[in-house]
Structure 1
Amino acid sequence: MPAGSVAVIVPEDIKVPSWDLYEVSIPCTVFGQPQLDLADPWYSLRLCGTAERPPEGRSGPAGPSLTVRTGYGLDGLIGADTIIVPSVPDSCVEDGVPLRPELVAALRRAHAAGARMVSLCTGAFALAEAGLLDGRRATAHWMHTAQLAERYPKVQVDDSVLYVDEDDVLTSAGLTAGLDLCLHLVRRDLGAHVANQLARRMVVPAHRPGGQAQFIDLSVPATDDDSLSPVLEWARAHLDRPLTVEELAQRVAMSPRTFYRRLRAATGMTPLQWLLTQRLARARSLLESTDLPITKVGELSGLGTANNLRHHFLKQLGVSPGDYRRAFPTR
C-alpha cells in the first residue's frame, strides 16, 4: 500500500515519567516527520484524543501528567488507512477498569471500514476488547501477556516475539519493540530500502534478531514449598556440575518420584525444565556482565559446549549467544 494516513490514539493524559510517552512518540517520529527524499508523498499523521475535552496537565497523588493537544477526537479515525493504539491506561490493564465504550466502538468501526489496526504494548488490550484479536496470534509486553491471555482467552497470545503481523491487525511488545513494528510497517508499505535508510537516520537496527523471549526475566519461580528451598539454592550454586534428579532428591531425603512431584507442584516445571531455566539464566547473566569466551560461559552455566549453548539459546530465546551479548554490552 502507499504511505497513506496514520491516526494515533493518544490517552487523555500521560503521566510523567511514563513509558506511555515514549510509545506515543514512536509513531510520531516514524510517520510524522516527512522523509520526502525517501518517499514522496510521505505519511500524513493525525493525533486523536479519547476525551471530549482534553484535560489540563496536572499533578496529583499519581504523579505529574501532561496533556497532548491532539487536534482530533475519535472522529479523526474515520478515513485513516492505519490506526495505532500505543497504550491504554494502567488501570485498564492492572485493575480491569473498562475502556471507554466510545473508543472500543470506534476501533470496531474503523476496522470494518478497512483500516489497518496496530497496537503497541498494552494497546493490544484495546484491540482485544474490540474483538479484533479473536482467533488471531498477538503479543504485548511480556510483563502483561499473562493478563492479556487470561482476560481474552480467544486471543492466541505469544510472549516470545517482538511483534506479530496478521496482515490487517498487527501487535507489538513494549517500548522499543513498537519501533521495530513501525519500521516493519514502513518496510511493508514503501520497501526495504526506505525502511533501512530511515532506520539509519534514527540510529537503530533496521531489524533486530530474536524476539522478546531474550528479555523475559528467568529468575526463580515463586514457590510455597519451603522444604525445597535449600536444595534449589544448592543447585543454583552448582550449575557448573552435572546434576541429576536422584542427587537433588537425596539431598532433601525424598524419593526421585516425590521430588519430581513436589517441584512440579511448586514451580510448574519438571526438574529438568527447572535446571535448564536456571542454566539459561546463569548463561545470560554471564553474557551480560562479563567478557568470558562463549565456551567458558557454557561450562560455568552447565550447558556444556559452545554449540550446545547456542542450540539452547536459539531454541529458548530465538537468538544466538553472540547476538544476545551484543544486545547487552558490558559496562
Structure 2
Amino acid sequence: MHRVGYLMTEGFQVMSLATQAVFEFANIVAGEAVYRIQNFSIHGGTVRSSLGMHIDTLPLGAPGLADTWMVTGTLTPLTAPDEAVLASVRAFVEGARRTAGLCTGTFVLAHAGVLEGRRATTHWAYAKKLREMYPQVEVEEDRIFIVDGPLWTSAGMTAALDMALGMVEKDLGAEVARSVAHKLVMHQRRSGGQSQHSELLALSPRSDRIQAALDYARRHLNRSLSVEELAGVVHLSPRQFTRVFTAETGQSPAKAVESLRLEAARLLIEQSRHSLDVVARETGFRDRRHLREVFIRGFGVPPQAVRRDARRVVSA
C-alpha cells in the first residue's frame, strides 16, 4: 500500500485537498485500497485553510508515517513557516520515497533548503520571486509539474491534479492513470513538460462569434485555415473578420492560428510517439523543418528537446 501524507500549516490552500480525489479514484479503478491518505500537521488537531474551513489532522511523530509527502502551499508563500515545519520537510526528503510541493508548497521545500541544485516549478505568479530568493534552484516557470529525483513540484493548483495523476501513472501504469482522468472528467492528462500557458485562454475573445472561429481553427489545424475560410465560418467578410478578431484578441488571425498550431504540436510531441513528420502534418506545418523553425522561434528550444524532457518526466 502507498501511504500518502499531506503536511498542512495554518492558511493552507484548500484546493490542495482536491488532489486527494486522484488517489481516491485510483483506489476505485484498481478495485482495492492501493493508497492510504492521511492529513498531518506539526502538533495535530484542527488546521484552518485559506478559505476558513477547518480540517482535522494527525500529529507528526515517528518516521515512516508516509512514503509520499504532499506539502501544501499558502497564499503567503514568501514567508517561511516555523522551523519545525522545515525540519520535518528535510526529514521527509531524507526518508520518504518522494516529497512534493503543491503549487506554492514549492516555497516550503525551498525554505527548507532541499531544492538547491534541482529543477522546480511553482505558480507562474510566484516563479520570478522564487528564482530571486533562491538562485541555486533551477526554476522552470513554464511547466505544469517537474520531477527531479525524489522531489516533485507543481504549478498552480489545477496542475497539482496532473502531478498527482503522474504519481498514479508512475505507481500503477498509464492505463490506470487514463481511467482515473476519465472518471474525474479531466479533459486531458497533461504531462509535466507541458506549458502552463494556454493559447485559447490567453486569446479570450469577447464575442461568441470569434470564439467559434477559434474553436473551428483548433479542430482543423491540419488545414491551411485562410482568413477567408475562418471568416466564412462566422459569416463575416475577410476584412471585417480580421478587424474584429484583432480588436478582440490583440493578434492577427494568422498569428493566432500559428500559436494554436504550436500548442497542438507541443502536446503531440510530449504525449505521443508520432514522428515529427506526422506532428507537422497533423498540426498544419509544411514539413518538419518548418515545424522546427517556428518551434524554436516560439519556445526557444527544438521539438526534440521537448520530447526528451517529457520522456524524462515519465521515466523519473
Class of the TM-score when normalised by the shorter of the 2 chains: 0.5 to 0.7
Would you say 1:31 and 2:23 are equivalent positions? yes
The 3-state SS of whatever aligns with 2:30 is coil
| Residue among 67, 83, 86 paired with 2:54 | 67
Which structure 2 residue ranges, 5 or more long, are not aligned?
218-224, 231-240, 263-290, 302-316
Counterpart CA distance in 2 for 1:51 and 1:112 is 21
Cα deviation, residue 40, structure 1: 3.3
SS where residue 7 of structure 2 aligns?
A: strand
| Alignment-derived partner of residue 327 in structure 1 | none
Larger Rg: 1 or 2?
Answer: 1
- Aligned mates of 1:124, 1:148 — CA distance in 2: 9
* Residue 139 (structure 2) aligns with: 157
Taking the aligned partners of 2:47 and 2:184, their CA distance within structure 1 comes to 32
Letter in 2 for 1:106: S
| Aligned mate of 1:170, from 152, 158, 178 | 152
Structure 1 position 80 matched with structure 2 position 66: yes
2:46 aligns with one of 25, 48, 54: 54
User: In 1, distance between residues paired with 2:154 and 2:47?
Assistant: 28
Whole-angstrom distance in 1 between the partners of 2:33 and 2:64: 20
What is the TM-score when the length of structure 2 is the normalising length?
Answer: 0.64
Counterpart residue identity of residue 67, structure 1: H
CA distances 1:70-103 after superposition (whole Å, capped 9, x unpaired) = 1x1232763411000121x323x2xx43211101
Give the CA deviation at 1:132. 1.6
Amino acid at match of 2:75: D
Deviations 1:134-165 (A, max 9, x none): 11111011011011111111111111110101
Q: 2:124 aligned to 142, 164, 188, which one? A: 142
Instruction: Give the CA deviation at 1:38.
Output: 1.5
TM-score, normalised to structure 1, is 0.61
Change (3 A) 1:105 1:43: same
Bigger CA drift: 306-315 or 175-184?
Answer: 306-315
1:90 is aligned to 2:75: yes
Distance verdict in 2 for CA 1:288–1:137, change over 3 Å: farther
Contact 1:13 1:67 in 2 (8 A): no
| Per-residue deviation, residues 260-311 of structure 1 (Å, max 9, x unmatched) | xxxxxxxxxxxxxxxxxxxxx6xx3459845254543897535569568646
Q: CA distance change for structure 1 residues 192 and 55 in 2, over 3 Å: closer, same or farther?
A: closer
Letter aligned with residue 7 of structure 1 = G
Please say if residues 68 and 96 of structure 2, whose CA atoms lie closer than 8 Å, have aligned partners that are also in contact.
no
CA RMSD of aligned residues (A): 3.5
Matching residue of 2:275: none
Q: Alpha carbons of 1:138 and 1:34: their partners in 2 closer, same or farther (altered >3 Å)? A: closer
Whole-angstrom distance in 1 between the partners of 2:160 and 2:296? 23
Task: Give ranges in structure 1 of 5+ residues lacking alignment.
Answer: 15-19, 58-62, 219-280, 319-331
Alignment-derived partner of residue 286 in structure 2: none
Three-state SS of the structure 1 residue aligned to 2:141 is coil
Percent of aligned positions that are identical? 26
The alpha-carbon deviation at position 34 of structure 1 amounts to 6.4
* Partners of 2:121 and 2:127 within 8 A in 1: yes
User: Mapping of 1:176-325 within 5 angstroms?
Assistant: 176-208=158-190, 211-215=194-198, 284-285=203-204, 289-292=211-214, 293=217, 295-296=226-227, 301-302=251-252, 303=254, 310=262, 312=294, 316=298
